[in-house]
Amino acid sequence: MSLAIDIFYDELSELLERPIFIPENLDEMEKEVTENTHGIAVNLGIINDVHADDLMHFVDKLKEAAKTAMAATTAEALRFYLWHEEGQLWYSFVKAEHLRMPFSEEFEVAAEEEEVVESYLASLRQENVTGKMSINIISKH
């Protein structure tokens, strides 16, 4: 493997170590979005070395981290947003009780997270794709 791909996977590992901010009440949505929204970018020089399965493994680890973070709070569920735009794959967590979506509604809805990941990788390969977003509930139990 190249140094660039090693660095990319190290960056993913660092994102998994970031704490997830889960407030006790709903009046800190802006802070939730700010603290819990992150983007990753696959360098075009390593695009052929990054596979959807690798990114889905990362997504699964993010969801595990969310369950661990919820265990220490009264939150019963989080919404997990996954989307891509402007050459980056983005994700965010907010409490599921929020009634409005904190992100733009200009994305095509994806049925599965894998669809978002595959669409993201296709967009980097210059295929004609529209941004996609998936929204899933992650429950504490």
Chain segment 7-23, per-residue pLDDT in tens: 899 999 999 999 999 99
pLDDT computed for residue 105 by the predictor: 64
Alpha helix (H) ranges present in the chain?
A: 3-17, 29-36, 52-71, 113-124
- What pTM did the predictor assign? 0.88
pLDDT at 130 over 80: no
Residue 40: C-alpha distances to residues 10, 48, 72, 92, 122 (Å): 12, 16, 27, 12, 15
Query: Where does the pLDDT of residue 44 fall: very low under 50, low under 70, confident under 90, or very high at 90 and above?
Result: confident
Higher pLDDT among residues 134 and 141, named by residue? 134
Report pLDDT for 114. Answer: 95
**Average pLDDT taken over every residue of the chain:** 88
pLDDT class of 2 with cuts at 50, 70, 90: confident
Helix axes 52-71, 3-17, angle to 10 degrees: 20
Query: Would you say 82 and 94 are in contact if contact means Cβ atoms under 8 Å apart?
Result: no
Q: Which residues contact 91 (CB under 8 A, 6 or more apart)?
A: 37, 38, 39, 59, 62, 80, 81, 82, 83
Q: Is 71:127 a contact under the CB 8 Å cutoff? A: no
∠ CA 71-30-110, nearest 5°, is 75
The order of strands in the sheet holding 88-95 is 37-40, 88-95, 77-85, 132-139, 108-109
Report whether pLDDT(56) > 90: yes
127 neighbors 47 (Cβ within 8 angstroms): no
Please tell me the predicted confidence (pLDDT) of residue 34: 92
